Structure 1
């Protein structure tokens, strides 16, 4: 089967490659922290990102969607640059920007699910829902680590993330998969 929705196809290609950037970034982030519990948690998040990449590729294969060489190169470079920067920008910023990035990534998977649903395709609902929820868990982890940092209020004003999320998901009041279209509506 082929998808005739260029926006959905591009979202899948971008999601696949962006997961590589995230995984590379978390390699540097994990290696730059001293706290063993933080190092372990960040490493697990890296593993989650590699798993998401595998899941997205499986979906792409079902629709004969090729991997974008441009996105692969672009996100490879982005991931490696972010990874290296974690060693020089201090402790707060890697946690802050990881949380901010994850906050936006949550909606990526719910939007992909909504695009598939608009084509009457529901076969991927569960995995896309699970990946979106996992990204939310990542967001919450990173915010929890820095919630009492004195830099947070300044960065919240500057970059519009912290007390306010970029998504409307509350893990304490989750909608089931079938009702998750309430998430990430623009």
Structure 2
């Protein structure tokens, strides 16, 4: 098994954290992982993306030009990365702020309205965990118990009291993700 993922959005959406938690989760399952962040100089609002590779075998290079899965969290990232999903791959997107929806018919497209759900849950900071939950429903590449271990590893100990809320958000993301019909 080898899964090559790009997670892309604005800084402040938890893009890099989501990738790090996914990578730690793979490590907890004794898998080979690569985590390669890319972000602009802005603290919040600039573009951010992270490439994560999870594999049973050695990873030859962290540099990717095509992805098995793209998790897209803003229009700028949709414009940039939709074309780089491998044929037969998966694109997951949050509908908030997306004006040009995916058009490819050779990939499977899922929508998760994580922004709205995080607001409903009164916990905007769990946005990225809702998205991660949706991804893991579609592509269960790591076990949830290892994601929780990954959360413990990536969150400072002073924030460990937030882990149950994050676990709830992951489970909610698994419930609300749905496949989309792509219109030409």
Give the helix-richer structure, 1 or 2: 1
Work out which of the two has the higher radius of gyration on C-alpha atoms and give 1 or 2.
Answer: 1
**Do both proteins adopt the same fold according to a TM-score greater than 0.5, normalized to the shorter chain?**
no
TM-score by length of 1: 0.30
Give the strand-richer structure, 1 or 2: 2
TM-score by length of 2: 0.30
